């Protein structure tokens, strides 16, 4: 079992990592704002439980993948002098993975939320 002191220290490191990404990555801040908006909407609209879970998971997935992208970018930058073309490819692929996840998440969010917004606007 982990001691409370070790747990606190682990949490401190995790929050420090999140803070570093927030400070250094503009894309993460934009995606975090989008995730906060999704959370507000999720708890404002009368969604079914599975819809809430899906939207929260999708928002979390985009944020986690953006953090992984940031990790790959920083690691790749350390290799840049020797492996220039490969570093560029890795960075581009990770950015593409984030983009695909964000687009799919947005499409699913629209599919889930559209009927609720229609109901709200018709009232």
**Residue among 40, 102, 12, 20 nearest 66 (CA):** 102
- Token reading at 29: 């801040």
The confidence score (pLDDT) of residue 85 equals 81
Mean pLDDT by 10 residues, the chain (123 residues): 89 95 95 96 94 97 96 83 77 94 97 92 82
Give residues with Cβ within 8 angstroms of 76, minimum separation 6.
Answer: 87, 90, 91
The confidence score (pLDDT) of residue 82 equals 64
In a domain, 21, yes or no: no
In a domain, 5, yes or no: no
The confidence score (pLDDT) of residue 80 equals 65
In a domain, 32, yes or no: yes
The confidence score (pLDDT) of residue 123 equals 75
Q: How far apart are CA 113 and CA 25, in angstroms?
A: 28
The confidence score (pLDDT) of residue 122 equals 87
In a domain, 63, yes or no: yes
What's 100's domain CATH number?
1.10.287.3610
Count of domains observed in the chain: 1
In a domain, 30, yes or no: yes
The confidence score (pLDDT) of residue 101 equals 97
């Amino acid at each position: 079992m982990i001691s409370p002191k070790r747990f606190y220290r682990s949490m401190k490191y995790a929050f420090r990592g999140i803070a570093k990404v927030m400070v250094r990555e503009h894309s993460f801040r934009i995606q975090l704002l989008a995730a906060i908006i999704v959370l507000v909407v999720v708890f404002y609209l009368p969604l079914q439980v599975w819809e809430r879970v899906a939207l929260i998971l999708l928002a979390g997935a985009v944020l986690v993948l953006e953090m992984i992208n940031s990790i790959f970018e920083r690691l790749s930058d350390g290799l840049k002098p020797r492996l220039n073309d490969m570093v560029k490819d890795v960075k581009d692929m990770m950015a593409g993975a984030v983009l695909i996840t964000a687009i799919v998440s947005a499409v699913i969010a629209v599919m889930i939320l559209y009927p609720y917004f229609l109901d709200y606007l018709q009232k």
